[in-house]
Chain A
Amino acid sequence: MTRASGTSGIWRQASAVALGIAVALLIAGVAIAAYNERAYTMQRADEASVQARILAAAVTAALAFEDREAAQEYVNALGANPEVEAASVFDAAGLPFVTYARTAVLAVSSADGFAGPAVSPADGFAASPADGFIDVTAPVVQGGIVLGSVHLRSVTEPFAARLERYGGIALLVTMGVLVVVVLGAAHAALSRANAELRQQASALAEAYQKLKAETEERERAEEALRQSQKMEAIGQLSGGVAHDFNNLLQAMSGCLRLIERKAAVPEIRPLIEAGRQAVDRGAKLTQQLMAFARRQALRPEPVDVEGRLRGMSELLARALRADIELRMELERGLWPIEVDPTQFELAVLNLAVNARDAMPDGGRLLVEGRNLTLSSDLGPQGLGPQGLAQELAGDYVRLSLTDTGQGMSAEVLARAFEPFFTTKGVGQGTGLGLSQVYGFARQSGGTAHIDSTPGQGTSIVLMLPRCLATPAPGGPEPASAAGPGGGRRLLFVEDDPVVGAMMASAIEDLGYVVTRAVSADEALALVERGEEFDLLFTDVVMPGTASGLDLAREVRRLRPAMPILLTSGYNEGAQAGKEFPLLPKPYRVETLADALANLAEGPRVVSS
């Protein structure tokens, strides 16, 4: 635009110059006309004076010897010249000697005008131009003797006729001025149009840039949406598989337990142990899968992030190698978050292990935590796809773990959160670490994303929503030792026949008297019938009109003193976990024994 204005400045100058030229032309035209007029007048005066001199020379003798006839002839001869309006000869005394006048009217006026010599004869010659006339006086001298004077009145061209003559020049000048003015105006208009065009072009370019940026933004958002949909699909698929698989593992775990008890042959103990370990590993895998699928039963509680991380530093240091420096930069007064502490710790540990593996030659792991408030209209830098900005508006604790390792390529980055996607060698990793992190973050109401540059390192960012509640101090309580059932009556509700049968015998082995039900309705009927139970242990998700949670609520209403333990492989259990103790599936018999023992003691602890 500055260039455009500069150019238009030049054009403005050009039009000013054109105007100047036009004015100069006008002035020149007027000057030429004035000069011509003056030259014409002077020429006519010269001509008239020459004629007067000739007449003066001719009439000398006639005047000297008063031959009016001869003088009149001389004077009348002048009448042949149409420009001579009147001519007179005066004698030495200044009296008219002879007079010639073309018209009678002029004769009178000339007689008035020539009543006496307009100039004294000694002046020699004088011309006085009046409008339309040039009066010339010349002395009549012979041999130095002044004999009289001659007056001549010559008509000049009338002003109108002269104007006509100058009309040609005026027309030319006017045409020239007109052409210059028109050219100037055309230039000005053209320059204005040019400036407008330039402006439009630049506006168009701007609009194009904006459109391009918007298109790119949209593409990014679509890519993010696709990624998110992909993750969702994978999550559903793996969640479903993991759940069924979990039940199978539960059954296998029970079977192994029974085999161990029924066949007291020492040789098979190692086999049983190997089988149990395999089941454990499988259980862990399904657990992580379900964590990714957001189907794990979380027990969210307010967590003090700083305290949690400080408490984990020992654990992290052990997970990392000696050649890796661990630094924590945590903002003072970090907001509390509401997450499952165990899953939180697992996520941090997973990230630390990944960072360690990304830095085979050592490096630095930086754990940063700070408070962040996202507005809904802006997607701040480093928060992932902008499409998430709307969804993520609010207060967050931003937790990032940044390593100085190999970094990730774009392809790896795109798939890093997918379950079973791993860059590690066979047997080195499950491919479920980052997917657990992602699932945990999403399930906790937050998000996770990765910033990575190959060769420079990776930064994994967790955005976890702020929690307004105050976290309970202290870490996880240590599990107490299992105690015997003590012959207490336990109502066990489980729809899966294999799991139900297997677990029922396992619980009986723990010293409980087990009554089985296959649905909440059946269990409720038993309770309502007046059957006495000391404990209720029920699955949450079951076929029938009532869920395990409904059952638990009803039982609490009917028998407020009865301890209740829920179990679930789905995250539907999470809600239940808030109201009742919850044992996530799959669980080991020992874990169940502890939970049951705690449950039995619970009321006592509370009452004491």
Chain B
Amino acid sequence: MPRLPRHRHFRAAALALAVIASAFAGPAAASEQSLEYAVKATYLYKLAPFVEWPAHAHDPQTGTIDLCVVGEDPFGDTLDRAVAGQQLGGRPFAVRRMRVLDPRARCHVMFLGGSAAQTADALRMARGMPVLTVTDAVADPAAMGIVNFVVVDGRVRFEIDAAAAAQNGIAISSKLLDLAVAVHRGGETPR
């Protein structure tokens, strides 16, 4: 089975256009908005299978894969429905929501939904910890998580910062990298 190398161009302009369009969509766009976040909620837990955490990242007592939503929660119960009954490597998913990042909290996947500044702070705090940080359509590279959702041609896609993942000590499957619209590797993108 030939594996096709996938080359993606960074299309920031298109992404911005999509964000603006969604911001001014009005009531008709509200359902579209919720559909988009339902997809994102699904993607959030679906990222987990493509990620490898170091052994110490798992709590032997709870044995859960923890999905943390920090700051504003755009998903509502869609995230809880998406992970309901799902298991990863025998571990069930658990959803935690927190207004600000609690450094003691154990998180495997962390969605940062606050402002860019808050997100940047949280990212700094999480740096070096075995956490897959996810941000939603952040344009500022400093506030960009390891995975950053973007909308391309009306479809939800994502960028991956492989260097940040390496800093956090987690490994991201090449399959996921293949699918990313952009992959930042060490040195390529200034932090």
Contact = CB atoms under 8 A, between A and B. Distances in A.
Contacts of B43: 64-65
B123 to A, nearest CB: 22
A80 B158 CA distance: 30
B97 interface: no
A51 B179 contact: no
Contact of B1 (A61, A65, A66, A77): A77
A147 B46 contact: yes
A70 interface: yes
B9 interface: no
- Name the residue among A61, A70, A77 with the largest chain B CB count within 10 angstroms: A61
Interface stretch (A14-22, A137-145, A491-499): A137-145
Chain A contact residues: helix, strand, loop or mixed: helix
B141 to A, nearest CB: 22
A54 interface: yes
A428 to B, nearest CB: 138
Contacts of B48: 143, 145
Interface stretch (B54-62, B86-94, B99-107, B130-138): B86-94
Contact of B46 (A55, A70, A77, A145): A145
B176 interface: yes
A77 B173 contact: no
Interface in A34-57: 51, 54-55
Contact of B87 (A55, A60, A61, A145): A145
A143 to B, nearest CB: 3
Contact of A143 (B50, B157, B158, B178): B50
Contacts of B46: 64-65, 145, 147
Size bin of chain B's contact surface: 20 to 34
B191 interface: no
Size bin of chain A's contact surface: 20 to 34
Contact of A145 (B49, B175, B178): B49
Nearest to A58: B1
Interface string B52-92: 00000000000000000000000000000000001111100
Interface string A108-151: 00000000000000000000000000000000001111010000
Nearest to B178: A61
Contacts of A62: 179
A67 B4 CA distance: 14
A61 B6 contact: no
Given A51-B1, A77-B1, A61 B50 contact: yes
A74 interface: yes
B88 A145 contact: yes
A339 interface: no
Given A70-B178, A143-B88, A64 B49 contact: yes
Contact of A144 (B39, B89, B157, B176): B89
- Name the residue among B4, B48, B156 with the largest chain A CB count within 10 angstroms: B4
B187 interface: no
A247 B155 CA distance: 173
Chain B contact residues: helix, strand, loop or mixed: mixed
B86 A67 contact: no
Nearest to B65: A143
Nearest to A81: B1
Interface in B152-191: 155-158, 173, 175-176, 178-179
Given A58-B1, A80-B2, A147-B46, A67 B88 contact: no
A73 B49 contact: no
Interface in A140-190: 142-145, 147
B90 A61 contact: no
Contacts of B175: 58, 60-61, 142
Nearest to A63: B46
A77 B50 contact: no
Nearest to B48: A143
A78 interface: yes
Nearest to B52: A143
A315 to B, nearest CB: 141
B35 to A, nearest CB: 12
- Name the residue among B4, B39, B175, B178 with the largest chain A CB count within 10 angstroms: B175
A236 to B, nearest CB: 133
Contacts of B157: 65, 67
A65 B88 contact: no
A339 B80 CA distance: 157
B156 to A, nearest CB: 8
Contacts of A65: 43, 46, 156-158, 179
B51 to A, nearest CB: 8
A58 B3 contact: yes
B82 to A, nearest CB: 11
- Name the residue among B46, B86, B88, B157 with the largest chain A CB count within 10 angstroms: B46
B6 A70 contact: yes
A384 B1 CA distance: 116
A53 to B, nearest CB: 9
A65 B4 CA distance: 17
B109 to A, nearest CB: 13
Contacts of A64: 43, 46, 49-50
- Name the residue among B1, B2, B49, B88 with the largest chain A CB count within 10 angstroms: B1
Nearest to B175: A61
Contacts of B6: 70
- Name the residue among A54, A60, A73 with the largest chain B CB count within 10 angstroms: A60
Given A61-B178, A145-B49, 6 more contacts: A55-B1, A65-B43, A65-B158, A67-B179, A143-B89, A144-B89
12 contacts: A61-B178, A61-B179, A64-B49, A65-B46, A65-B156, A80-B2, A142-B49, A143-B89, A144-B89, A144-B90, A145-B87, A145-B88
Interface of A: 51, 54-55, 58, 60-62, 64-67, 70, 73-74, 77-78, 80, 142-145, 147
Q: Which 6 residue pairs spanning A and B have beta carbons closest together? A: A143-B49, A142-B49, A61-B175, A54-B1, A64-B46, A61-B179
